[in-house]
Amino acid sequence: MSKLTEIVYCGIILLLECWFSSSCSDKGTPSAITVNITCDRNLYLYVDGKYLGGDVADAKQKHYLTNEIMPHSHVVAVRCTASTPPWQGGILGSFENGLVTDTSWRCTTSAEYGWNMRSYRDDDWPMATSHGANSPSTFPWGNIDSIDKKAAWIWSSDNKNDSEVFCRHKLVKECTEEKQSYFQTPKSTRDIAIQGFLLLKVRVAGVIECGLKCGQNSACVSFTIQSSDIRGSRLCELHNVTAEGHPQSVVRKEGYQYHEVVQTFY
């Protein structure tokens, strides 16, 4: 099915849900993938709460583990405990589907029961800190050839004092995380526009195109579009604030309709 047909099927309300659906999955990894991973120094690897393997992964000796992750997997979780001082903590890994250890992971120094399970919410965990690239000049581990060059040595922010960390990352982008849709706000949104905070002003064929332009602009949280009674192309304005967030910027503008991004978690 072409992207355009998909969008038409979806209708206006769940506009971006469809747009994004091609880049995400709720079914987890589509096939089995391998991972090469190491840490300084004792590694425990979990996928969706199940222990997959671990060892004394002596990163300084360029030692790493290879494991296979089953299809339909969702979340990878790694625990690493450091060796005796003086030491520095670091975890480095790459997955066959392109995932690598980097600052998009989350790492914490204490974890509660269930920390490695898929359903666990790690939103309040700090983002991982990179303590060096996978390169020969990174002290004290250097690089590991079998691990992707894009991977970074990650740990909590303090890899000289935190001797145990727990890190997590999704194996695939989950749709439930990024289902964002355009809804008209509950109150009347006709004849309303935002003054200022303009990211882009373009002519479009309709509300879907305007919404897609907003979806492609990471700063866009709302848009206004000229009403459909205008023939031909319509003016579409993308904004980086919402009406509620900036009530002082809301103005009456006849023939315009206001829309905003609604973030929904399921």
Ligand X SMILES: *[C@@H]1O[C@H](CO)[C@@H](O)[C@H](O)[C@H]1NC(C)=O
Residues that bind ligand X (CB under 6 A): 34-36, 66, 94-96, 146-148, 160-161, 197-199, 240-241
Q: How far is the CB of 13 from ligand X (least distance, A)?
A: 26
Which of residues 120 and 197 has its CB atom nearest to ligand X in the complex?
Answer: 197
CA distance 31 to 216: 29
Tell me how many helices (H) and strands (E) the chain has: 4, 16
Which of 102, 94, 104, 101 shows the shortest CA–CA distance to 69?
Answer: 94
CA distance 86 to 9: 60
List Cβ neighbours of 41 (8 Å cut-off, separation of 6 or more). 56, 57, 58, 59, 80, 81, 82, 83, 87
Partners of 151 in the beta sheet? none
Of the two residues 189 and 222, which places its CB atom closer to ligand X in the complex? 222
Instruction: Please state the closest distance from residue 266 (CB atom) to ligand X, in A.
Output: 27
Q: Is the peptide bond before 71 cis (omega within 30 degrees of 0)?
A: no
CA 260, 265, 266: angle at the middle one, nearest 5?
Answer: 135
Cα 44 to Cα 24: distance, rounded to the nearest angstrom: 27
What does each C-alpha distance from 229 to 198, 205, 208, 212, 257 come to in angstroms? 24, 12, 16, 21, 12
The one-letter code for the residue type at 6 is E
Q: Which is nearer to ligand X, 76 or 147 (CB)?
A: 147
Residue pointed to by tokens 């904004």? 239
What distance in Å separates the CA atoms of residue 261 and residue 211, rounded to the nearest whole number?
9
CA distance 168 to 171: 10
Q: Which is nearer to ligand X, 66 or 103 (CB)?
A: 66
> Which residue minimizes CB distance to ligand X?
146
